[in-house]
């Protein structure tokens, strides 16, 4: 680890590291379905079948970070989904640590952009446990060293914006896991408004026109901000308000 990277800052769940997995989210799901509840971070140096949002693939080459937190929650599914904003804030903190404060911005719902290009992707999956609680697999992929070419959106890597080598994935995960604990604690003790405020402070595109590609249609309007549950408030051209709960948004073509 290059000097200057923070050493382990706090207490986070244990980390189990693999050299290769199909997908850290798939491994978390297998464990959850076998009854494991975590919390545990699962990481792999290489993913052979990394999963992205909306059925897309996510490429993880050696040098990038692929990690999934397997955990359990008492919250209902709609509320548990707010964990994706917790993850986005933690990833933004990691980007700040590596690239300097303010270098990264968040795009709804949970992409981390560096100079307008995607550097981090987040995929939260969940399922019911026999005890009635939910398991959550919070998957985070960080392009530390390499920007994949096989994504439909422009991507970048931290390395493209650093004068020194990017952190090794293990060092990056230690920072990420600590940041995740801080934001998760804020969510637990102060509620979603604190998370929404942190997210909004770091967001890109609020107040701007955007196109929202929803599962079965596309709408355009002005992105006003987060609703109280994390939905995007989109003011349509006819003045109506649409709450976007699933989909991709594009500002100025990105
Ligand atoms: C996206 O499409 O933006 C989400 C990408 C999520 C990728 C991460 S890498 C770690 C975890 N394991 C996976 O298979 N996917 C997530």
CB 106 within 8 A of CB 249: no
Structure confidence at residue 215 as a pLDDT band (50, 70, 90): confident
Ligand 1 centre to CA of 123 (Å) is 5
Pocket test for ligand 1, best of 108, 120, 121 (most atoms within 8 A of CB): 121
CA distance 61 to 46: 6
Atom of ligand 1 nearest to the CA of 137: 11
Residue 114's closest CA among 156, 84, 85, 164? 156
Pocket test for ligand 1, best of 139, 169, 250 (most atoms within 8 A of CB): 139
pTM of the model: 0.93
CA distance 242 to 233: 6
10: which 2 tokens? 């706090």
Around ligand 1, the residues with Cβ closer than 6 Å are 23-25, 47, 50-53, 56, 58, 60, 66-68, 121-123, 139-141
CA distance 140 to 92: 12
Confidence (pLDDT) at 2: 42
- Kindly report, residue by residue over 222-232, the tens digit of the pLDDT: 999 999 999 99
164: which 2 tokens? 């020194």
Q: What is the DSSP string of 117-149?
A: EEEEEEEEEEEE-TTS-EEEEEEEEE-SS---S
Ligand 1 centre to CA of 52 (Å) is 5
Is 146 a residue whose pLDDT tops 70? yes
Ligand 1 centre to CA of 46 (Å) is 12
Pocket test for ligand 1, best of 40, 42, 52, 94 (most atoms within 8 A of CB): 52
Atom of ligand 1 nearest to the CA of 24: 12
CB 109 within 8 A of CB 230: yes
In the chain, residues under CATH classification 2.30.30.100 are: 209-251
233 phi and psi angles, rounded to 5 deg = -85, 115
Ligand 1 centre to CA of 22 (Å) is 11
CA distance 116 to 155: 9
By CB neighbour count within 10 A (0-12 exposed, 13-18 middle, 19+ buried), where does 231 fall?
Answer: middle
Q: Determine the CATH number of domain 209-251.
A: 2.30.30.100
CA distance 235 to 238: 8
Structure confidence at residue 150 as a pLDDT band (50, 70, 90): low
- Kindly report, residue by residue over 117-133, the tens digit of the pLDDT: 999 999 999 999 999 99
Residue nearest to atom 15 of ligand 1 (CA): 51
**H or E element that contains 217:** none
Q: How many residues does the chain have?
A: 254
92 phi and psi angles, rounded to 5 deg = -65, -40
Dihedral (Cα; 199, 118, 101, 62), 10-degree rounding: 120
Instruction: Give the rounded percent of residues in the chain with a pLDDT score beyond 90.
Output: 88
- The class (CATH top level) of 15-201 is alpha beta
In the chain, residues under CATH classification 3.30.930.10 are: 15-201
Is 24 a residue whose pLDDT tops 80? yes
Could you tell me the CA-to-CA distances from 89 to 183, 198, 209, 240 in Å, in that order? 7, 7, 23, 30
Residues 6+ apart with CB under 8 A from 22: 47, 48, 49
- Kindly report, residue by residue over 79-118, the tens digit of the pLDDT: 999 999 999 999 999 999 999 999 999 999 999 999 999 9
């Amino acid at each position: 680890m290059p000097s200057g990277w923070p050493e382990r800052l706090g207490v986070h769940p244990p980390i189990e590291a693999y050299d290769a997995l199909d997908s850290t989210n798939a491994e978390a799901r297998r464990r959850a379905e076998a009854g494991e509840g975590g919390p545990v971070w699962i990481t792999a140096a290489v993913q052979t079948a990394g999963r992205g949002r909306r059925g897309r693939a996510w490429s993880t080459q050696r040098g990038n970070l692929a990690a999934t937190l397997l955990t359990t929650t008492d919250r209902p599914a709609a509320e548990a989904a707010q964990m994706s904003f917790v993850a986005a804030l933690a990833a933004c903190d990691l980007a700040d640590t590596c690239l300097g404060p303010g270098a990264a911005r968040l795009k709804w719902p949970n992409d981390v952009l560096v100079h307008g290009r995607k550097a981090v992707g987040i995929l939260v999956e969940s399922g019911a446990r026999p005890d009635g609680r939910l398991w959550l697999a919070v998957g985070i992929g960080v392009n530390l060293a390499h920007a994949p070419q096989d994504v439909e959106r422009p991507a970048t890597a931290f390395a493209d914006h650093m004068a020194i080598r990017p952190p090794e994935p293990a060092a990056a995960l230690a920072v990420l896991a600590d940041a995740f604990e801080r934001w998760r604690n804020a969510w637990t003790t102060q509620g979603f408004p604190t998370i929404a405020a942190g997210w909004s402070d770091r967001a890109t595109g609020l107040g701007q026109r955007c196109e929202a590609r929803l599962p079965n249609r596309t709408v355009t309007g002005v992105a006003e901000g987060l609703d109280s549950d994390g939905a995007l408030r989109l003011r349509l051209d006819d003045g109506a308000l649409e709450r976007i709960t699933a989909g991709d948004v594009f500002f100025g073509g990105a």
